Structure 1
Amino acid sequence: MTLSAAVLETPDPRALAAFYRTLLGWPVVEDGPTWVMLRPEVGAGLSFQQAPDYVRPTWPTADGAQQMMAHLDIRVDDLDVAVAYAVESGATVAEFQPQDGVRVCLDPDGHPFCLYMP
């Protein structure tokens, strides 16, 4: 078995894929109205599946609110530069930051992702 991609649900797969294409620099390898896939040269990709009833997760988690099911960890060389680039690309920096050396950001649909330095 080989993992081919992680999948994020979204009301607009092409819009969310465009955000991550800009953020990660990965090319689109599948492009349809309800499914888009990005893939780096090596390794698993990231796919976006249309979910018309999508509800943004709450970060940090809160009782009774839509829970985050997963998040992405993205290794960076310079945390400040990466956060600025993510925001310029359309992300927001989460108000709650649980630890030093990691910045939780939210993509345009509210999926959390962590930028971190090794």
Structure 2
Amino acid sequence: MPDFNFLILYVDNPPRSAAFYADLLGRPVIEQSPTFAMLPLREGVMLGLWSRHTVEPTATGAAGFGEVAFAVGDAGEVQRLHDDWKARGLSIAQAPTRMDFGTTFVALDPDGHRLRVFVPQDAA
């Protein structure tokens, strides 16, 4: 079975998105051009940011129809990240909320991609 090692988001401006994610996640940009940028998410997993204007084949979907999810250790960390991301100016699509899977919030990146932070129910 192939190994999962890459997540690619189609973005309007890869250098701008790379700066956004580098600052938000505290990760370095390890590759950058006008049409593509890449950051490590964790060992063996990369985040690629590809220009939606140059990707081939042409991407037809829109941002917001999927999510990038980040698990944290407890509900306090969910609240702390919510407050931090809101102070950074991210649009908050869902304030911290208790759902059937745990406590969560959703923010949007500059291209409208959904970023969900959550703590699994058994850890909340």
> Normalising by structure 2, what TM-score?
0.73
Identity %: 27
Q: What 5-or-longer segments of structure 1 have no aligned partner?
A: 59-67
Q: Considering only CA atoms, is the larger Rg found in Structure 1 or Structure 2?
A: 2
Q: What 5-or-longer segments of structure 2 have no aligned partner?
A: none
Deviations 1:64-109 (A, max 9, x none): xxxx1x2111123411110122223342110588853110111111
Q: Is the 8 A contact 1:72 1:114 kept in 2?
A: yes
Q: Is the 8 A contact 1:19 1:89 kept in 2?
A: no
The runs of at least 4 aligned residues of structure 1 exceeding 4 Å deviation read 53-56, 95-99
- Secondary structure at the counterpart of residue 43 of structure 2: coil
Aligned to 1:4: 5
Q: Is the 8 A contact 2:94 2:105 kept in 1?
A: no
Q: Please tell me the root mean square deviation across aligned C-alpha atoms, in Å.
A: 2.6
**Does residue 1:57 correspond to 2:63, yes or no?**
yes
Q: How many residues align?
A: 108
Q: How does 1:1-118 map to 2 (within 5 A)?
A: 1-40=2-41, 42-52=43-53, 56-57=62-63, 68=65, 70-77=66-73, 78-95=77-94, 100=99, 101-118=103-120
